[in-house]
Amino acid sequence: MPYRRLPNTDAARLRALKTAFKKGKELPPFKLAFSQSTLHKIQSFLPSFEKALLESRQAYSKQLEKSKSYAFVIRKAKLYISHFIQVLNMAILRGDIPSTERKYYGTQDYSTKLPALNTEADLIKWGEKLIHGESIRAMENRSPITNPTIAVVKVRYEQFLEAYKFQKILQKNFYRVQEKLEEMRIQANDIIVKIWNEVEDTYKQESGQNHREKAETYGIIYVFRKSELLKNDSSS
């Protein structure tokens, strides 16, 4: 006996619900193979499910669209922060400023290497440190670091920070939509199982092939096991 295969993708779930709903609109109640109460469930659930799927696609597309420009902003912020630290180290190496001034930026452990700048948290941390440290040095009338100046670094840092916050909003929206959709998938599965159970119960007196053919018009999908396929091939 072949077994029925329930939908395992959103597209398949939507197709199953639409097929059943179409049947419900085409046939009078006494000819319909599932109950009117089930039809009402489909009718009330289907628009919400379609809307949730659309919102999910839109949220994903928006996140993907902004990810390229966000990656560019990250690269620029990383570049300017790392260059500022390198220029600081070279100025100390030349003797232009004393090594003790690393304390302003928290770079005492990075005289010959750069701190890790691989994550968003790293960039936020070091951007804040450099901007704060240079502002303190400026108040003490010390010579500013140039090429890049902290003003240029700050512009790139703030562009990154703004994009970072916006990206977090997009991620939060996407996760919210996904959580809602996950709940609706469970509801969709329950409704589809109910439809299919009622359809199969309606046609339970039919022979195997007739049963399947009539049930398939309601969107039920039957799958033959490998052994059954081999048996059918050998008998044909």
Integer CA distances (angstroms), 108 to 62, 99, 101, 143, 210, in order: 41, 8, 9, 19, 81
Identify the pLDDT of residue 219: 94
Q: Model pTM greater than 0.85?
A: no
How many structural domains are present in the chain? 1
Tokens of 178: 């996904």
CA distance 200 to 75: 59
For residue 172, the Cα-to-chain-centroid distance in whole angstroms is: 9
pLDDT digits (tens, 9 = 90+) for 187-227: 999 999 999 999 999 999 888 889 999 999 999 999 887 66
Identify the pLDDT of residue 234: 47
8 Å CB contact between 83 and 148: yes
The pLDDT of 92-110, averaged and rounded, is 94
pLDDT digits (tens, 9 = 90+) for 37-74: 999 999 999 999 999 999 999 999 998 889 989 999 99
Identify the pLDDT of residue 60: 92
Helix (H, G, I), strand (E, B) or coil at 1: coil
- 200-235 residues labelled b (16+ CB within 10 A) or e (exposed): bebbeeeeeeebbebbeebbbbeeeeeeeeeeeeee
Tell me which residue range forms the domain holding 13. 3-235
CA distance 35 to 201: 11
What residues form DSSP beta bridges with 222? 4
What residues form DSSP beta bridges with 3? 223
Identify the pLDDT of residue 172: 94
Does 83 score more than 70 pLDDT? yes
Identify the pLDDT of residue 236: 47
Work out whether strand 3-4 and strand 222-223 pair parallel, antiparallel, or are unpaired: antiparallel
Identify the pLDDT of residue 228: 56
